[in-house]
């Protein structure tokens, strides 16, 4: 039986409620870890970012944040983690550029679940190496949230593999484990994290890896990253903002024509969905004018792309991700 949210914990909907929660957690964390060091894998997603910000407030430099850039992050994400946590919050941040390591391992791999296993497994290995370089770590912080506990059978648990070896089984610090996502966002905002971090759409652990279908190549991945930034910028203007909206660049080519010459290029697929729980999902209506603007921006600026498509499929039968 999983742990249940304490009845004394009222819903956090206001800044005042978040401030009270933060004060309480800061005290709890200090009581739990004292002057010992804590390690955290900081992806830059809402949960790990809020967890990091709470720990920084509680123990400052005794939190060691490790940000692994596996090459499958969205445009601007590693830079934002460095800017917010190292430059603005003065965090003890270890930035690991593991791009080549991941992309070399993934070269030629086409099966989606094998890709996931490689990404998850390699992530644990990189994190383990960094953990071994640190002296005196006694705790591991995790941005576990309440739905993760309730759905130990859910998507994250289902897809994400791995775990540290036995000799690195530190005691866990999980300050937001009884919060729902909307509450985590209120706490994050109150802690001063930027809106682009606090209101980020869900992003799968394997990142762009499941949206660059089939065998990932660096050029197609780069095209995906650029196209995805355009799609996110434009569709982010919708009100309400969809649950998830992103680009996919599949491993297929079609004919294009430029200066009277035919050539092969990739399509960019636009996907925007709304859902309550990701178990079912509906395609979101995107105004045609917006689609045309996205098309023009992508075709004009993203090398290798000669076609733009819109995926209007619902789940079921189409999963949200393409792999």
Residues in the site for ligand XMP, rule: CB under 6 A? 116, 155-156, 159-160, 202, 204-206, 210, 244, 278, 315, 319-321
Token readout for 24 is 């309480």
- In order of 7, 37, 68, 130, 140, the CA distances from 134 in angstroms are 38, 9, 15, 7, 12
Q: Closest approach of Cβ 288 to ligand XMP, in Å?
A: 26
Pairing relationship of beta strands 92-97 and 63-69 according to DSSP bridges? parallel
Whether 93 and 69 have beta carbons less than 8 Å apart is answered as no
Q: Closest approach of Cβ 278 to ligand XMP, in Å?
A: 4
Nearest residue (CB) to ligand XMP, 210 versus 272: 210
Nearest residue (CB) to ligand XMP, 33 versus 320: 320
Which value, to the nearest 10 degrees, does the dihedral of the CA atoms of residues 251, 99, 244, 113 take? 60
Nearest residue (CB) to ligand XMP, 76 versus 202: 202
Whether 200 and 76 have beta carbons less than 8 Å apart is answered as no
Q: Closest approach of Cβ 246 to ligand XMP, in Å?
A: 9
Q: Closest approach of Cβ 244 to ligand XMP, in Å?
A: 6
Nearest residue (CB) to ligand XMP, 76 versus 147: 147
Nearest residue (CB) to ligand XMP, 45 versus 304: 45
Nearest residue (CB) to ligand XMP, 91 versus 210: 210
Q: For ligand XMP, which residue has the nearest CB?
A: 159
Token readout for 245 is 């909206």
Q: Closest approach of Cβ 269 to ligand XMP, in Å?
A: 14
Q: Closest approach of Cβ 184 to ligand XMP, in Å?
A: 16
* 257 backbone dihedrals φ, ψ, rounded to 5°: -140, 130
* CB proximity list for 228: less than 8 A, separation 6 or greater: 74, 75, 208, 211, 246, 247
* 270 backbone dihedrals φ, ψ, rounded to 5°: -95, 135
Whether 251 and 214 have beta carbons less than 8 Å apart is answered as yes
């Amino acid at each position: 039986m999983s742990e249940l949210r304490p009845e004394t914990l009222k819903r956090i909907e206001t800044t005042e409620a978040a401030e009270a929660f933060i004060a309480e957690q800061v005290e709890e964390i200090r009581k739990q870890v004292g002057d010992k060091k804590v390690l955290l894998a900081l992806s830059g997603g809402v949960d790990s970012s809020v967890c990091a910000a709470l720990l920084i407030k509680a123990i400052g430099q005794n939190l060691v944040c490790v940000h692994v850039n596996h090459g499958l992050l969205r445009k601007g994400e590693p830079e934002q983690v460095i800017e917010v946590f190292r430059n603005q919050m003065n965090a003890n941040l270890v930035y690991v550029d593991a791009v080549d390591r991941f992309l070399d391992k993934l070269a030629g791999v086409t099966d989606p679940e094998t890709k996931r296993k490689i990404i998850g497994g390699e992530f644990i290995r990189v994190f383990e190496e960094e953990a071994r370089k640190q002296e005196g770590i006694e705790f591991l912080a995790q941005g576990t949230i309440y739905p993760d506990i309730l759905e130990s059978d859910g998507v994250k648990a289902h897809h994400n593999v791995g775990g540290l070896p036995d000799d690195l089984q530190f005691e866990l610090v999980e300050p937001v484990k009884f919060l729902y996502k909307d509450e985590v966002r209120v706490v994050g905002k109150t802690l001063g994290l930027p809106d682009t971090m606090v209101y980020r759409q869900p992003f799968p652990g394997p990142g762009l890896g499941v949206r660059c279908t089939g065998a990932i190549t660096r050029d197609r991945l780069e095209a995906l990253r650029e196209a995805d930034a355009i799609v996110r910028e434009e569709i982010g203007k919708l009100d309400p903002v969809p649950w998830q909206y992103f680009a996919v660049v599949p491993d297929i080519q079609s004919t294009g024509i430029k200066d009277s010459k035919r050539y092969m290029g990739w399509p960019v697929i636009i996907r925007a969905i709304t859902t309550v729980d990701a178990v079912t999902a509906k395609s979101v209506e995107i105004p045609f004018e917006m689609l045309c603007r996205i098309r023009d921006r992508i075709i004009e600026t993203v090398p290798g792309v000669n076609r733009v498509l819109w995926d209007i499929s619902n789940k079921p039968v189409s999963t949200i991700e393409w792999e």
